[in-house]
């Protein structure tokens, strides 16, 4: 099960498992009662919880993945692993990402851009953009670097701006990030040592 820190169940959390030594992947969105069931083969696995990619949530899971193992024989095994996510305690960072000059529509772009807010130990949260380029990220109190992430699929755009924020229980507006059009490129060839 996936619970929050008030012992309420969490629906639609993505629980993911991957095998440590070789191929193997399994994922499941928790049911309305917070339950999940993953199918895995023999070996050592790491299991963790991710927020859904297509919904805004007010919780964070920032613990290390849990490790479980299954014997390498034909016997069926079952292991139980519960997770507790933390509800954000009221603090948020909000802002907007603006298009570069010459671009006037987010319609084909916004799904390739997100905003990250992480501290120096990798804890934090992220948010996809709304269709107008705005974002809001719930966070625990602390200090965060806020930056824009552009998917490699969105060729020709970049953002190098990083802003430092301190979050308590209030909402901090970081203003506007501006995407830049990227026109430079590097080309070359990769060859073996014998040509």
Vertex 187 angle, CA 182 and 193, to 5°: 150
Please tell me which residue, 84 or 160, carries the higher pLDDT value.
Answer: 84
pLDDT at 34: 96
What are the CA-CA distances from residue 145 to residues 87, 149, 185 (Å)?
Answer: 20, 12, 27
Q: Determine contact, residues 60/86, Cβ cutoff 8 Å.
A: yes
pLDDT at 108: 75
User: What are the phi and psi torsion angles at 124 (to 5°)?
Assistant: 155, -145
The answer to whether residue 49 scores a pLDDT higher than 90 is: yes
The answer to whether residue 144 scores a pLDDT higher than 90 is: yes
Give the C-alpha separation, 3 to 11, whole Å. Answer: 9
- What tens digit of pLDDT does each residue of 163-178 get? 999 999 999 999 999 8
Q: Which pTM value belongs to this model?
A: 0.71
Give the C-alpha separation, 166 to 168, whole Å. Answer: 7
Burial grade of 146 (CB within 10 A; 0-12, 13-18, 19 or more): buried
pLDDT at 153: 83
């Amino acid at each position: 099960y996936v619970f929050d820190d008030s012992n309420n169940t969490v629906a639609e959390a993505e629980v993911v498992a991957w095998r440590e030594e070789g191929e193997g992947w399994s994922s499941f969105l928790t049911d309305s009662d917070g339950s999940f069931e993953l199918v895995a083969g023999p070996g050592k696995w790491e299991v963790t919880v991710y927020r859904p990619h297509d919904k805004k949530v007010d919780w964070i899971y920032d613990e290390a993945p849990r490790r479980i193992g299954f014997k390498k024989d034909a016997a069926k095994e079952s292991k139980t692993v519960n997770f507790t996510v933390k509800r954000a305690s009221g603090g948020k960072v909000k802002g907007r990402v603006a298009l570069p000059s010459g671009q006037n529509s987010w319609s084909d772009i916004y799904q390739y851009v997100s905003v990250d807010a992480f501290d120096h130990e990798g804890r934090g949260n992220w948010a996809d953009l709304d269709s107008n380029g705005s974002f809001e990220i719930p966070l625990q109190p602390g200090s965060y670097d806020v930056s824009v992430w552009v998917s490699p699929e969105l060729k020709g755009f970049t953002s190098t701006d990083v802003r430092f924020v301190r979050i308590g229980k209030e909402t901090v507006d970081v203003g506007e990030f501006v995407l830049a059009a990227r026109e430079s490129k590097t080309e070359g060839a990769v060859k073996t040592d014998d040509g």
